[in-house]
């Protein structure tokens, strides 16, 4: 079975929610929509306090090419525009909308055919719909689908791996909305001019592999590729290596080797934007972990506070200790449940006191486990020492910018050195000096 070098075999914990069908939550009374929910320039408000807005109305945008519009996820009144806690850290300016209680808009009507649409028109619709990568990076999709002329794209990979433990939203999407996911994939192939597509799915999702193969029986240029269940198989560079045996160069992007990788949730959002004119207003979020009463997969309007989402799942258990946005390997720990669901929120993971025990950092014993498991072939132990010594120029020479922050090194470190934290700090310092 195809895979990549190194990486980890992790306890998956997906049984908590993998059999739970995706449900729509009730419309929240209030949403908080940060102006920065994506890679690139943050949005600039197009509304002011007191304005009445409709669900789907564009409320923020920016002139920058690498940016993405924000839309009202519920109908109501703009009550304030202020700085509030942001789930990726610190505070960020956000538009707060108080709902009018009229319920959600029905979008599944008046389907539009995409056959007459040119690539340029499809890209424009994707951009105006505010669609970004829903696998976690939140990179604006219209930018990813606009490669330079000197870098033609020949292959599209639909990422259905979902290699993070606990998370099951992508798995459920492939089972419940397979046709729309593949519709979005065909649109991406059309926009980029690619000649073939692959659907990469880890072997622990046998039902999704079988269903996708059944759906693609008559599609000669799209193939399902089962992949070994190993973390981080869902990383772009790992997928490209496993499926195509191509290596993205250091400092490069998938387009440098003629490939675009798209998450299944992103493909679904593209399908909804083209067929129904629906902007990115909601996303699937897995709420799971031993610390939540009723794990579930939910369609959640963007901007919904974590507290409302957790309440939909029966609330926190008494021994709940840590709340993480995302999965346990790459997720971000939260200090409050008042933060909102944003475009990059794939999951809300709640761990108990016994699961969230923090150990003190000890001296490096030079065991080389971090080197043995790094999927990018880096030397994390040396990079960590360079960061601690503030030798920022040497960091770049040792390839710190190639780190994908997957957490493999920190997971296997017997000394519990916060290697991912040090990598992030090092990358930030190198980026600042380059700027």
In 3D, which of 67, 246, 83, 40 has the Cα closest to residue 157? 246
Q: Residue 357: what pLDDT?
A: 82
How far is it, in rounded angstroms, from Cα 307 to Cα 311? 6
Average pLDDT, the chain: 94
Task: Determine the 3-state secondary structure of 249 from DSSP.
Answer: coil
3-state secondary structure of 204: coil
- pLDDT given for residue 114 in this prediction: 65
Segment 268-288, tens digit of pLDDT? 999 999 999 999 999 999 999
Q: What is the mean pLDDT of residues 92-115?
A: 82
pLDDT at 6: 93
For residues 104 and 52, the answer to whether their CB atoms sit within 8 Å is no
**Measured distance CA(228)–CA(242) in Å, rounded:** 9
Residues in a beta bridge with 95: 33, 81
For residues 138-161, give the mean pLDDT. Answer: 94
- For a pLDDT cut of 90, what percent of the chain falls above it? 88
> For residue 234, what are the contacts with CB-CB under 8 A and spacing of at least 6?
135, 159, 161, 162, 163, 164, 202
Residue 22 has pLDDT above 70, yes or no: yes
Rounded to a whole number of angstroms, the distance between the first and last alpha carbons of the chain is: 42
Q: Are 194 and 158 in contact (CB under 8 A)?
A: no
**Contact (CB, 8 A) for 283 and 300:** yes
Q: What number of CA atoms fall less than 13 Å from residue 57's CA on the CB side?
A: 16
- The 8-class DSSP code of residue 310 comes to H
Task: Domains for the chain: give ranges and CATH numbers.
Answer: 30-100+281-352 (3.10.20.600), 115-276 (3.40.50.11540), 369-434 (no CATH)
Contacts of 115 (CB under 8 A, 6+ apart): none
Helix and strand totals (H; E) in the chain: 13, 17
Compute the chain's Rg from CA coordinates.
21
Residues 6+ apart with CB under 8 A from 90: none
Token readout for 268 is 């679904």
Question: Is 70 exceeded by the pLDDT of residue 109?
Answer: no
Helix (H) / strand (E) element for 176: namely: helix 169-176
In sequence order, what are the beta bridge partners of 53?
76
Give CA–CA dist 21/233, Å, rounded: 24
Q: Is the distance from CB of 327 to CB of 287 less than 8 angstroms? A: no
**pLDDT bucket at 74, cuts 50 / 70 / 90:** very high
What is the Cα 385 distance to its own chain's centre? 30
Provide the whole-model pTM: 0.95
Confidence of residue 338 (pLDDT cuts 50, 70, 90): very high
Contacts of 214 (CB under 8 A, 6+ apart): none
- Nearest-angstrom CA–CA distance, 273 and 401: 34
Q: How far apart are CA 136 and CA 263, in angstroms?
A: 9
Residue 372: is its pLDDT beyond 90? yes
When pLDDT is averaged across residues 176-185 and rounded to a whole number, the result is 95
pLDDT of residue 337: 96
**Whole-angstrom distance, CA of residue 50 vs CA of residue 30:** 14
Q: Residue 3: is its pLDDT beyond 80? A: yes
């Amino acid at each position: 079975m195809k895979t990549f070098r190194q990486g980890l075999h992790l306890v998956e914990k997906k049984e908590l929610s993998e059999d739970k069908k995706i449900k729509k939550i009730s419309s929240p009374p209030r949403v908080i929509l940060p102006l920065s929910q994506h890679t690139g320039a943050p949005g600039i408000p197009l509304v002011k306090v007191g304005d009445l807005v409709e669900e789907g109305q564009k409320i923020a945008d920016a002139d920058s090419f690498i940016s993405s519009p924000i839309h009202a996820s519920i109908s109501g009144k703009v009550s304030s525009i202020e700085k509030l806690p942001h789930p990726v850290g610190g505070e960020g300016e956000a538009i707060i909308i108080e709902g009018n209680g009229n319920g959600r808009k029905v979008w599944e009507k008046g389907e539009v055919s995409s056959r007459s649409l040119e690539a340029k028109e499809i890209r424009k619709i994707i951009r105006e719909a505010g669609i970004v990568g829903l696998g976690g990076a939140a990179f604006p999709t219209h930018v990813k689908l606009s490669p330079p002329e000197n870098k033609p794209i020949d292959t599209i990979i639909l990422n259905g791996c979902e290699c993070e433990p606990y998370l099951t939203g992508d798995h459920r999407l492939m089972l419940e909305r397979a046709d729309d996911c593949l519709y979005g994939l065909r649109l991406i192939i059309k926009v980029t001019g690619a000649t073939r597509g692959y659907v990469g799915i880890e072997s622990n999702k046998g039902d999704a592999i079988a269903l996708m193969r059944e759906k693609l029986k008559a599609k000669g240029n799209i193939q399902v590729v089962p992949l070994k269940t190993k973390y981080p198989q869902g990383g772009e560079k790992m997928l490209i290596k496993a499926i195509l045996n191509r290596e993205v160069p250091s400092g490069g992007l998938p387009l440098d080797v003629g490939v675009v990788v798209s998450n299944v949730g992103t493909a679904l959002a593209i399908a909804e934007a083209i067929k129904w004119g629906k902007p990115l207003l909601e996303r699937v979020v897995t709420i799971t972990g031993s610390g939540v009463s009723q794990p579930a997969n939910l369609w959640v309007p963007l901007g919904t506070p974590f507290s409302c989402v957790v309440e939909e799942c029966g609330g926190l258990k008494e021994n709940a200790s840590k709340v993480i946005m995302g999965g346990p390997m790459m997720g971000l720990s939260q200090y409050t449940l008042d933060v909102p669901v944003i475009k990059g929120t794939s999951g809300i993971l709640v761990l108990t006191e016994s699961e969230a025990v923090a150990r003190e950092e000890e001296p490096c014993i030079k065991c080389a486990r971090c080197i043995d498991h790094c999927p990018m072939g880096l030397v994390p132990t040396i990079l960590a020492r360079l960061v601690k010594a503030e030798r920022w120029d040497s960091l770049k020479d040792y390839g710190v910018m190639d780190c994908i922050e997957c957490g493999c090194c920190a997971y296997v470190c017997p000394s519990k050195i916060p290697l991912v934290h040090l990598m992030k700090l090092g990358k930030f310092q190198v980026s600042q000096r380059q700027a």
